[in-house]
C-alpha cells in the first residue's frame, strides 16, 4: 500500500460536506446541496457521499419509507467520529499551512 493511501485526505467537496454535517447534524443529500449554496450539485453529491462512506468519514441510514405514496425511502447522512477527527486535523493543518504559502 502506498503512503498516500494510508494518510486520510479530504477533497474540497468532502471537506465542505463534513463541515455541514458536523455543524448541522444528520442531513439528506438534497439538504446538503441547498445548504452548500450551489457548491454541491444534486447527483454528484451522492458520488462524493458514497466515496466518503467507503473511506469511513460518513455513515448513512434509510429513513422509514413514505406512507401511502409507494416512493423510495430517503437516505440520511451523518459524520462518523473518524470523519470528525479527520476534519478537525485537516482544518488545523490547512490553517497552519495557508499563511506559509500565502506569502
DSSP three-state, residue 2: coil
Q: Give the burial string for 48-61 (b: 16+ CB within 10 Å, else e).
A: bbeebbebebbebe
Q: Nearest approach, Cβ of 22 to another protein (angstroms)?
A: 21
Asked if 56 interacts with another protein (CB under 8 A), we say: no
Q: Does 102 bind another protein (CB under 8 A)?
A: no
For another protein, the closer of residues 7 and 102 by Cβ is 7
**Which grid coordinates belong to 61?**
441510514
Q: Which one of the spans 13-21, 67-75, 80-88, 90-98 is the region binding another protein (CB under 8 A)?
A: 67-75
Distance, in Å, from the CA atom of 1 to the CA atom of 41, rounded to the nearest integer, reads 32
**Footprint of another protein on this chain (CB under 8 A)?**
2, 28-30, 41-44, 46-47, 49-51, 53, 66, 69-75
Amino acid at each position: 500500500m502506498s503512503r498516500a493511501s494510508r494518510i486520510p485526505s479530504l477533497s474540497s467537496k468532502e471537506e465542505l460536506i463534513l463541515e455541514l454535517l458536523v455543524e448541522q447534524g444528520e442531513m439528506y443529500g438534497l439538504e446538503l446541496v441547498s445548504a452548500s449554496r450551489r457548491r454541491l450539485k444534486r447527483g454528484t453529491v451522492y458520488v462524493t457521499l458514497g466515496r466518503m462512506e467507503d473511506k469511513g468519514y460518513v455513515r448513512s441510514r434509510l429513513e422509514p419509507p413514505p406512507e401511502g405514496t409507494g416512493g423510495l425511502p430517503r437516505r440520511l447522512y451523518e459524520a462518523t467520529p473518524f470523519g470528525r477527527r479527520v476534519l478537525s486535523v485537516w482544518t488545523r493543518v490547512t490553517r497552519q499551512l495557508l499563511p506559509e504559502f500565502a506569502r
